[in-house]
């Protein structure tokens, strides 16, 4: 049984804390992971477009073609976003843009989610979800990935299919909602 008075760090939190303090990158990528086993990254950018209903009315500021972006930068411990959201107060889609600082636990949550994502394609042929891509920068190198939900089609822009992208989507959207 864990000692309730002793604080514990989530996996990846120690490396993230060290990276924030010293600007260091941790670990090397093994096997089919997209980040090393310590979950380190410099910048992770999630992008999605399509898959949602079209505009509800002429006052909408954005529609299903709008490319939504959420980016987490480890060195500055920030999240920035540019998304399309329903404003229930006015009844139409509006642009939602902003940024904020993150806690070590929030950074660790993104790191943990990135650890779940693996290179692979289970051959799904979806049609009702936005196309989701992920760019992960580590030590100046960009890994460019796409959700295998549309795995029966050629990957866009030479991206690499990955499984379990939903983990990253969930972790990053949680930061801005």
List per-block mean pLDDT (blocks of 10 residues) for the chain, which spans 177 residues.
37 39 42 86 91 66 85 96 87 90 96 94 79 93 93 89 94 94
Residue 79: the pLDDT is 98
Q: How many domains does the chain have?
A: 1
Report how far residue 157's alpha carbon sits from residue 14's, in angstroms, rounded to the nearest whole number: 34
Q: Classify residue 8: in a domain, yes or no.
A: no
The answer to whether 99 touches 176, Cβ cutoff 8 Å, is no
Tokens of 155: 């990957």
Report how far residue 121's alpha carbon sits from residue 14's, in angstroms, rounded to the nearest whole number: 31
| Domain span at 108 | 13-176
Q: Classify residue 76: in a domain, yes or no.
A: yes
Report how far residue 117's alpha carbon sits from residue 112's, in angstroms, rounded to the nearest whole number: 9
Q: Classify residue 47: in a domain, yes or no.
A: yes
Q: Classify residue 69: in a domain, yes or no.
A: yes
Q: Classify residue 86: in a domain, yes or no.
A: yes
The answer to whether 38 touches 15, Cβ cutoff 8 Å, is yes
Tell me, yes or no, if the pTM score tops 0.85.
no
Q: Classify residue 1: in a domain, yes or no.
A: no
């Amino acid at each position: 049984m864990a000692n309730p008075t002793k604080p514990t760090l989530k996996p990846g939190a120690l490396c993230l804390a060290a990276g924030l303090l010293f600007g260091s990158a941790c670990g090397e990528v093994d096997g089919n992971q997209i980040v090393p086993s310590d979950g380190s990254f410099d910048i992770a950018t999630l992008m999605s477009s399509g898959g949602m209903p079209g505009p509800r009315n002429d006052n909408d500021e954005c529609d299903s073609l709008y490319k939504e972006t959420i980016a987490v930068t480890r060195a500055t411990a920030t999240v920035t976003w540019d998304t399309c959201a329903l404003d229930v107060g006015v009844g139409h889609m509006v642009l939602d843009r902003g940024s904020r600082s993150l806690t070590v636990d929030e950074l660790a949550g993104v790191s943990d989610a990135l650890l779940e994502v693996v290179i692979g394609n289970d051959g799904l042929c979806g049609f009702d979800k936005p196309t989701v891509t992920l760019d992960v920068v580590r030590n100046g190198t960009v890994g460019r990935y796409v959700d295998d939900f549309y795995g029966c089609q050629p990957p866009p822009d030479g991206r690499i299919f990955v499984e379990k992208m939903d983990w990253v989507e969930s972790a990053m959207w949680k930061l801005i909602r």
